[in-house]
Each structure stands twice: as structure tokens, then as C-alpha cells.
Chains A and B, each alone.
Chain A
Amino acid sequence: MFTLVIGGSASGKSDYAERHVLSLKGDGPRIYIAAMEPFGEEAQARIARHHAMRRDRGFETIECYRNIGDVCLPEKSKVLLEDLGNLTANELFGADLPQADAYGNLNTEHIAADLSDRIAAGIERLLTKCSHLTIVTNEVFSGGKEYEGETLTYLRVLAALNRKLAARADLVVEVVCGLPEILKSTETGR
């Protein structure tokens, strides 16, 4: 089963996603894949605290910042990947991407399409390695259209991934104020 959870910052999407994974049946281990790269002592301390917190809730944490398809998982895992916004940023800003086409022009649409295909293919591989996958992603697209350069590319990649994964998912949930709204559920035929 593949679930996509989307929401704005501090919308309660992580908490919802965690509870969703806890509610899943089956005896495989719960794995949390953390995509946020720890920069600095403060981030490291925060991450250590989160690890402990999730261990109490029965999640083992694996760090994976890019190339998500390569991650090694125990059999029949119930995986929670958080979050797609960080994974996309790591792939986009940490990688050696072509920045211009053959004529020397920046082509953000082309770069975005390539990268979103590559990340989606990685997620497709991840799906073959676990019994349940839940991905938390970010709603950052309602604050206007005045973006350019790398930010615009980033938004294009993340939006393309959101659309692709939503089409692929069995369950798509938008979380607002901690409350879930089901956008798609193959179970109920919505």
C-alpha cells in the first residue's frame, strides 16, 4: 500500500502520517527514513531527540538524503519517508545537474522533468522493497508565482513529483490543522 500525505508547514501532516503507519496491519518492522540532512549541532541534537522519540513509538530510523532507491530495508517493512521536500532539495542542490542546454540556455522545465523522473524512479524501487510506503510531502505552492532560478526549478520538481506520486498512490491525504481530508482512496473508490 502506498500513501501520500501532503500539508503546509506545521499542518500536523507528520503526526498524521506517523499515526497512519502505526494503524497499518502486518508484522513487518516500522522504518522511518529521514531525508533532512543535519547541518550544525542544533540540527544534530534535534535529530537525536527525534530518533529516541520514534524508537519509543516502534520506529527504527534510517538516514537517507539522496538516491532513495538504493536504501536497504528489512523484509515487509512499513516505511515512513519524511519528507519529499527535503529529498528534492538534496537531489537538486547537492547534485551535479546540467544547468544549461546545448545552446547555453537555462531550461528549468527540462531539468525539472529529468530530476522528477529520476526521483520518482527511485521511489518506484523503494516500493518494491517494502510492504507499505507512506511519504510526507509539502504544500508550498499557494504563495504566489513570483519565483525564478533555482527556487522555480525546485518548485517544478516537487510539484511534478507530487502529481506523479498522487496518481500512483492508493491513498492521498491533505492535512489541514491536523485534520485529514481524503483526496483519493482506491479502497473507497474515490
Chain B
Amino acid sequence: MIFVTGPLFAGKQEYIMEALGWDDAQFEASAVRDVQDLAAELNTEQLRALADTLAEKKVVIATEVGGGVVPIDPAQRQSREAAGRLACLLAERADTVIRVCCGLPRFLKGGETMMENRGAIKQTESDKAEQER
């Protein structure tokens, strides 16, 4: 499983679809996004079970939500906390962890095979550009 994390509106989905050469249908079938929203009211055991289930997907995307001031509202505080813990559990289970910032990837874990794929995709693109010229 590839776990993609990063700030809000950072271009996480766009990046991973481009890197893997996926269309919308492939993304729909093999990926899940905004998983931080699934964590909200879960306890430790439930978070583990959720992480195990999500790990069966090819790609899991979460938005980082823990960077601001700790919320006063207990429910918001709890859901933010759960989102962070879920992200750690997913990173443990992932072969590859990528943080996307401004649409640019940083590999936090693994990624060797993904980089090869990406290289192949880039190659095809530059070949195409070459032919058009």
C-alpha cells in the first residue's frame, strides 16, 4: 500500500494519479482519500482495525490536520488526535509513504519501485514531446 499524506489542497491525489498513470476509474477502484475523516470517533482497537482494512487498498490518502492550535472543543480535539494516530498506523503498514507539498513528493519511506514507475511515465512523456517536435 502507498500512503500519501500532506497539507490541505497540496495536490496529493493529482500527484499519485499522475505518478501511477491512473485514470479516475482506477483511482475509484483502488484508492481511498480523506481517511482522516473516518477516524473521528474511534478508539485504539477500532483505529487498528480500520488501518488493517485500509491497508488492503493500493493507495490511501490522508490530509494532515494536526498542525494548528489544539481545538477547545473536546470532540474536535479527539477527532484530530485520532486522525494523527491513524496516519501513524497507516505509515507502519505502508510499503511507501509520500508527503506531498505544493504538488511535489517527498518519500518518507520506501518508494524505490514507485520511482521506477514514475521514471517510466516521465520517459514516455518526453518521448511524446520529442516526436511532436
Contacts and interface: CB of A to CB of B under 8 A. Distances in A.
Interface of A: 4, 6, 8, 139, 141-146, 155-156, 159-160, 162-163, 165-167, 172, 174, 181, 183-184
Contacts of B8: 141-142, 144-145, 155, 159
Contacts of B66: 142
Given A159-B7, A172-B104, 14 more contacts: A4-B102, A139-B101, A141-B8, A141-B64, A143-B68, A144-B68, A159-B8, A159-B9, A159-B10, A160-B9, A166-B102, A166-B103, A174-B101, A183-B101
B104 A143 contact: no
A162 B103 CA distance: 8
A24 to B, nearest CB: 22
5 contacts: A8-B67, A141-B64, A144-B71, A145-B65, A172-B102
A142 B9 contact: no
A142 B6 CA distance: 8
State the main secondary structure of chain B at its contact with A. Answer: loop
Interface residues of B, number: 21
A174 B104 CA distance: 11
A170 to B, nearest CB: 13
Interface of B: 7-11, 36, 63-69, 71, 76, 80, 101-104, 106
A181 to B, nearest CB: 8
A183 B106 contact: yes
Contacts, number: 66
A91 to B, nearest CB: 17
B20 to A, nearest CB: 18
> Sorted from nearest, which 3 A-B pairs have the closest CB atoms?
A143-B68, A142-B67, A141-B7
Query: Interface centre among A139, A144, A181, by most B CB within 10 Å?
Result: A144
Tell which of B9, B10, B36 has the most Cβ of chain A within 10 Å. B9
A92 to B, nearest CB: 15
Contact of B102 (A143, A145, A146, A163): A163
Contact of B103 (A8, A155, A163, A181): A163
A142 B9 CA distance: 10
B69 A163 contact: no
Contacts of B69: 143
Contact of A143 (B65, B101, B103, B106): B65
A168 B65 CA distance: 27
Nearest to A183: B104
B90 to A, nearest CB: 17
B87 to A, nearest CB: 12
Given A143-B65, A143-B67, A156 B9 contact: yes
Contacts of A172: 102, 104
A163 B117 CA distance: 22
Nearest to A163: B103
Contacts of B63: 145
